[in-house]
Amino acid sequence: MVRDTSVVLSGLKLDNPVIPASGTFGFGNEFKDFYDINILGSFSFKGTTKEPRFGNPTPRIAECERGMINAVGLQNPGIDHVIAEELPHLKTYFHKPVIANISGFSIEEYAYCCERIDKEEQVGIIEVNVSCPNVRHGGMSFGTSPEAAAEVTRAVKAVTTKPVYIKLSPNVTDIVAIAKACEEAGADGLCLINTLLGMRIDTMRRKPVIANTMGGFSGPAIFPLAVRMVYQVAKACSIPVMGCGGVQSASNVIEMMMAGATAVQVGAANLVDPYASKKIVEELPLEMERLGIERLQDIIGIVK
């Protein structure tokens, strides 16, 4: 029996739900030399801002048990370069709609970048990262307040035609309240979770390992937390959810989908093993067979 791995995100049909997460796959260029990345459902490209960003000082990475901390600082070439150089090059080796991850430090920057990227043919979904610090309000992340997250959502939806997915931060007391605020403001979908705030200390040097002191904690250690938040948000909202956080196997993908995710992003695993997403795609039909699943669409949110 042929197992049906396809899913549909806001009218966009994907061959499978496996999507490398933003910041772990660049623009796909480095990975295309390892395997044909067209086997993926899609991928979310590097978080893009209006101006080029060098990012945070080094060291930016700290190893942890069952995970890692990163404080790269949204290093990217800026929206103009992405549109002029990266997307035309991407089109030569990736022949499916891609997910554009957009970041910003003001409402105006989010709207400007999303309006620009919305016009690009290769972009199927715009993923808006609201974990950035709002520079006008003391550095508090847009994604930690329902009002601020809704304001970003409304501003982006006003200038775009493509589906807009808001990527939520887990560093909040009530992620459901923020998810519902984004849905009410017009979001077409949600992506969760982004990284948790973490820290490591070099006990010999008596200093933080990362130059930025703290960074985003990701990897398999956060998977149960991500599943819980996906479950809560999928139950509370009627728009699709992309699950993300600690996914490293086909079994994890199916678990996340049973919790309510329509598609599943793979993040830190790509940095450990460049073939991680490829292996998950190949393992999915075997795991479906083992569990007696004919169509992945049938298991989305099956856990009550």
pLDDT interval class at 290 (50, 70, 90): very high
Q: Determine the pLDDT at residue 1.
A: 84
Quick one: average pLDDT of 240-265? 98
Long-range contacts of 114-122 (CB under 8 A, 24+ apart): 114/156, 114/159, 114/160, 114/164, 115/159, 115/160, 116/79, 116/83, 117/48, 117/79, 117/82, 117/83, 118/159, 118/160, 118/161, 118/162, 120/83, 120/87, 122/87, 122/90, 122/91, 122/94, 122/97, 122/98
Euclidean distance between CA atoms 68 and 286, whole angstroms: 29
The total number of structural domains in the chain stands at 1
Kindly state whether residue 1 falls inside one of the protein's structural domains: no
Q: What percent of the chain has pLDDT over 70?
A: 98
Whether the Cβ atoms of residue 30 and residue 292 lie closer than 8 Å to each other: no
Taking only the tens place, the pLDDT of each residue in 16-27 is 999 999 999 999
* Span of 127-141, 263-277, 281-295 with lowest mean pLDDT: 127-141
pLDDT interval class at 114 (50, 70, 90): very high
Whether the Cβ atoms of residue 11 and residue 165 lie closer than 8 Å to each other: no
Taking only the tens place, the pLDDT of each residue in 204-219 is 999 999 999 999 999 9
pLDDT interval class at 138 (50, 70, 90): low
Q: Determine the pLDDT at residue 178.
A: 97
Taking only the tens place, the pLDDT of each residue in 148-191 is 999 999 999 999 999 999 999 999 999 999 999 999 999 999 99
Euclidean distance between CA atoms 41 and 231, whole angstroms: 22
Measuring CA to CA, which residue among 19, 21, 28 is closest to residue 216? 21
pLDDT interval class at 110 (50, 70, 90): very high
Kindly state whether residue 193 falls inside one of the protein's structural domains: yes
Q: What are phi and psi of 19, to 5 degrees?
A: -135, 110
Catalytic residues: 132
Q: Determine the pLDDT at residue 131.
A: 85
Kindly state whether residue 23 falls inside one of the protein's structural domains: yes
Kindly state whether residue 12 falls inside one of the protein's structural domains: yes
Quick one: average pLDDT of 264-276? 97
CATH of the domain at 230: 3.20.20.70
What burial class does residue 293 get, using C-beta atoms within 10 Å of its C-beta: 0-12 exposed, 13-18 middle, 19+ buried? Answer: buried
Taking only the tens place, the pLDDT of each residue in 226-236 is 999 999 999 99
Kindly state whether residue 2 falls inside one of the protein's structural domains: no
**Token reading at 146:** 């329902």
Whether the Cβ atoms of residue 247 and residue 277 lie closer than 8 Å to each other: no
Residue type, 224: P
Whether the Cβ atoms of residue 102 and residue 128 lie closer than 8 Å to each other: yes
What is the extent of the structural domain holding 80? 7-299
139 pLDDT above the threshold of 90: no
Contacting residues for 137 by C-beta, under 8 A, at least 6 apart: 148
Euclidean distance between CA atoms 242 and 184, whole angstroms: 18
User: In Å, what is the CA distance from 294 to each residue of 6, 13, 242, 243, 277?
Assistant: 11, 17, 21, 21, 21
Q: Determine the pLDDT at residue 281.
A: 98
